Structure 1
Amino acid sequence: MVQERINKANKEALNRILSAQPTLVGIGKAQEVIPGMSKNTILHAGPPINWDDMSGPLKGAVIGGLIYEDLASNEEDAIALAESGEITFDPCHHNNTVGPMAGVVTASMPVWIVKNKTFGNYGYCTLNEGLGKVLRYGAYSLEVIDRLKWMEKTLAPVLKAALELSGEIDLKTMIAQVVQMGDEGHNRNKAGTSLLIRELAPHIVKTDFSDDDKANVLKFMHGNDHFFLNLTMPACKCTLDPAANIKYSTIVYCMARNGTEFGIRVSGLGDKWFTAPAEIIDGLFFPGYTSADANPDIGDSVITETTGIGGFAMAGAPAIVQFVGGTPQDAINYSTKMFEITETENNTYKIPALNFRGTATGIDIRKVVETGILPIINTGIAHKDPGVGQVGAGLVRPPMKCFEDALEAYVISLEEEGLV
């Protein structure tokens, strides 16, 4: 009886995930397109958190966001404002949004607008700044703010005009292509960025902007291999959101981290977060840095793994190990191991190295706890102190406690109904 209800609920969740059609439909200003966004709102990655408990990189990104919005003129003023209670901090995930690393989204930032054509829901994400000293890693120097202003005043308007000429872009088909071209959709985005440039370049040159502006936009995209990441993320976000709140489902529809805690949300348990302290990433560090400099796991980009790409698709992206560590065989092993904790194979995202087997999709909390196998995540490493930026990249797993607590809550919910 109970098993039948669980199977039916999980089948419905998986059908919603697999039938999603994430489509890029435009670019807009955060305050104008994200419901509930205001000038004094700062969205952040991961589960809810207050200023006092924020990690160094998240605090650094908040400081930079307040300076960028001209709500503060310097670090001291920004900290005072953040502590004042006048700023509303809210998870990106509570607002149909995802943010890489610190995940900070402020009112004036341009965001990609991605629509799930099957269910009509939206996903939003900022534009990717590149690697190194960037806001999403907690850096907030003048060069960081100047880059953000250029992205707002030049990059976004040029891309928006190009999109108006090109029309909507089917991201599901594009992600399926990139997975077969050596990307995994999280930390390797060379193919995805290249395909996006191919799609938009003919329309960028037809816009009315100056030749210098158009050339600088194309150079920026070409020089930023991670540019496509900020499209895979909202594509995955709007893919998974319809799978939320399906009674009796044990499927995980959200994983996220804020640099202090790792959190998951489970379909049959509604919007409740199950959290535990975030782990330290095992990886490769830039020269001059070690694990002692690393902040615990941070960012919403793990939405890719939750969907079935990212670390789950590393078998199709053997070159990723040069960035996160390990060997090509390790990448294959990681991907195949994920089939043991998921409910199905993806019907669109397929891996050539696994004889075009679909990626492991539909993380089931029961299987995670039963097998002791945790989802594999590849990710960047932020410095633990605000203002520094990225110091490496590597592999990490969620805390088992998140899944154990979720399963316990799930069993209690069944007991309250008299089903067990």
Structure 2
Amino acid sequence: MKFTELDLPKEVLQGIEKAGFKELTPVQEESIPLALQGKDVAAQAQTGTGKTAAFLISLFTRLLRNRRPASPDPRALIMAPTRELVVQICADAEVLGSGCDLRVQPIFGGVDYEKQRSALRSGVDIIVATPGRLIDYYKQRVFSLKKIEAVVIDEADRMFDMGFIRDLRYLLRKLPPFDKRQTMLFSATLNQRVMELAYEFMDIAEKVRIAPEQVTAERVEQVLYHVSRREKFPLLMGLLRKDPGMERVLVFVNTKKEAEHLVERLKANEFKAAVISGDIPQRKRMRILDEFKAGRLNFLVATDVASRGIHIEGVTHVINYDLPQDPEDYVHRIGRTARAGAVGKAISLADEDLVFHLEDIESYLGQKIPSCFPLDDDFVWDYRRPASRKRTPKPATGGGEKKRRPRRRRRGGARERKSDA
């Protein structure tokens, strides 16, 4: 189906044309017509399937058709689990909403506290936010939720995984009743806990399910290497040497410590790499992502939590340096490549500790991942090691002598003489 076949306002069609969209993706074809009818929608779809455009197009259409007198109170709310996802949704909204006279405001922690506060006070139409800071402003009565007409919950499953579900429920309870607003929920899986959220806060939601294998199998070339843990980095060096087409690579690991260690080794071998993790200041995180998008960084090493919401065109390869423990994370990871109809390659390294998760991953995919054992010439052993960090000696006290303990007094009040030995 083409977008021109839908009954959309000309302002929305203008933004769709600017974005270069012509035909609907499966999740768009299933969810947009339902949303245009005013129905609540609970959709299962992976990242990279066009779900952001699906709810933005539906949201813009609703707000344009139900115009109301100018008011500082927001009319719609989009909630997402990460700052990066909020930024990406706003970037997509800027393009798709270029023909709409609607004010979109991102709200997230880490930057511009007073600037965001001022923007809310001056009035916005759509808030795109992570739950934490939004609740902060709400409790200060910076804005009101009484006039919300539509709400979107993006990546609902991650709201649970990242511990935001309590904040999410708090905000949903402050909205108008579910029969007085439209709600759209998007999640990688419509499991029991996600559907309980839908039953509690949605008005008989229409379910849309897009199977994971439709997302991953067709456009992503997958390969898995069985390798020992000590051989993973030599094999990675061999793969990089053999494939000069690795221009923009996302490397996934399971821990922040492993991410930092891997980046040090890549840098030691003259690869431009950086870590993205949850504790990096927001401005630095955005700068790293911008450098990766611009090609000034070739490798971005991330954990699953930190990488949520990353939307970067032209990622040539995804490398699962550590095989994920959650099957859904595998689908999410390799969905970072082959976006918007492009092709990509996903390489996984299964070591002796993490290979036990392979069966669950393949069961979730509904297919076997092509696998092999690397040959001797696939490894590079003469790579450079990072310079060892020198320990900074502790500053000496008392002219190099050990710190003296307090002298004890003898009975009768006389001090004990300290030996020079």
TM-score over 0.5 for the alignment? no
Q: Which structure has greater strand proportion?
A: 1
Structure with more of its chain in helix, by fraction: 1
TM-score interval, normalised by the smaller of the two chains = under 0.3
Q: TM-score, normalised by structure 1?
A: 0.26
Bigger relative contact order, structure 1 or 2 (CA pairs below 8 A, ≥6 apart)? 1
Scaled by the length of structure 2, the TM-score of the pair is 0.26
